[in-house]
Amino acid sequence: MGEGPVSEPEGWAGIGPGDRGTPATEWSRWLAGRVPDPVFPIPGRCRRLVVVAPHPDDEILGVGVTASRFAAAGVDVTVVAVTDGDASHPDSPTLSPHRLAELRVEESRTACSLLGLPGPVRLGLPDGKVREHLDHLTGAVTGIVDDGGPGTLVLATWRGDGHPDHEAVGQAAADACAATGAGLVEYPVWTWHWAAPGDPRVPWGRRRRVVLTDAELEAKRDAVSRFVTQVAPLSESPGDEAILPDWILERLVTREETVFW
């Protein structure tokens, strides 16, 4: 997921220390009061799904159950981790970036397996600096997507998600789809933090939802809990704080997953 949204969507004043963003309860009330958005289907001609995650956990937080349903339907699923997430705790006295990367990739493998997904293909780009390697990333994603031929769908973080790594991944995926003819579906992660219900910067008209069953919701919670380096403090020392405390997870682990299609 990354350390936090550090790019600035147009009109966004930024996020200051202690800013907890839009509460999950506000999102729940607003979504419940809307005319229900269409349900996102598994396209009948889809034979391959490529899920592109900026960091090892975005694939589960954003679309873990969505991807799991594709896999259960017999679609060939590839998960791509663009970075190893080694910059989530830059001031940690407990874990080096190298060790943190090892742990985060292993956490992603475990979480993916719980949802019936393969472990991630690692691209190893620098965490927090994906935008500086956009051409390389676009080429890498294009190569992965092109291997699937016709009937390939790409799930990538939304190009307006508010974190530079997430936005770069979305742009690379969009360019790869344009080059190969694959279909593009985007998913928000940090949007739930900085945006507000009805925010005009968010493409709500493109929103499609995946409604989770009780069993799927529990499975997603279990998978997310495996990201131990992110959901719990590494230690009691400054710099080892949890990146995904409960108040963030409340926005991301809900009865519905959202995609923009």
Residue 59 lies in a domain: yes
Residue 3 lies in a domain: no
Helix residue spans in 34-182 (DSSP H): 58-72, 97-114, 134-146, 164-180
Q: What is the pLDDT, as a whole number, of residue 150?
A: 77
Residue 27 lies in a domain: no
The first and second tokens of residue 238, run together, are: 């400054």
The three-state DSSP-derived secondary structure of 232-260 is CCCCCCCCCCCCCCHHHHHHHCCCEEEEE
Q: What is the pLDDT, as a whole number, of residue 87?
A: 95
Strands 207-211 and 256-260: antiparallel
Residue 18 lies in a domain: no
Task: Measure Cα distances from 29 to 25, 63, 226 in Å.
Answer: 6, 21, 29
Residue 155 lies in a domain: yes
Q: Which helix or strand (DSSP H or E) is residue 30 part of?
A: helix 24-33
Q: What is the pLDDT, as a whole number, of residue 124?
A: 97
- Closest listed residue to residue 205, CA positions, set 35, 43, 59, 46: 35
Q: What is the pLDDT, as a whole number, of residue 174?
A: 98
Residue 31 lies in a domain: no
Q: What is the pLDDT, as a whole number, of residue 3?
A: 60
Residue 77 lies in domain: 44-260
Please list the pLDDT of the chain residue by residue as tens digits (261 residues): 666 544 444 433 334 456 799 999 999 999 999 999 999 999 888 999 999 999 999 999 999 999 999 999 999 999 999 999 999 999 999 999 999 999 999 999 999 999 999 999 999 999 999 999 999 999 999 999 997 777 999 999 999 999 999 999 999 999 999 999 999 999 999 999 999 999 999 999 999 999 999 999 999 999 999 999 999 999 999 999 999 999 999 999 999 999 999
CATH number of the structural domain spanning residue 93: 3.40.50.10320
The first and second tokens of residue 149, run together, are: 């031929």
Q: What is the pLDDT, as a whole number, of residue 4?
A: 55
Q: What is the pLDDT, as a whole number, of residue 205?
A: 97
The first and second tokens of residue 97, run together, are: 């970036």
Our count of domains for the chain comes to: 1
Burial class from Cβ neighbours inside 10 Å (0-12, 13-18, 19+) for residue 17 reads: exposed
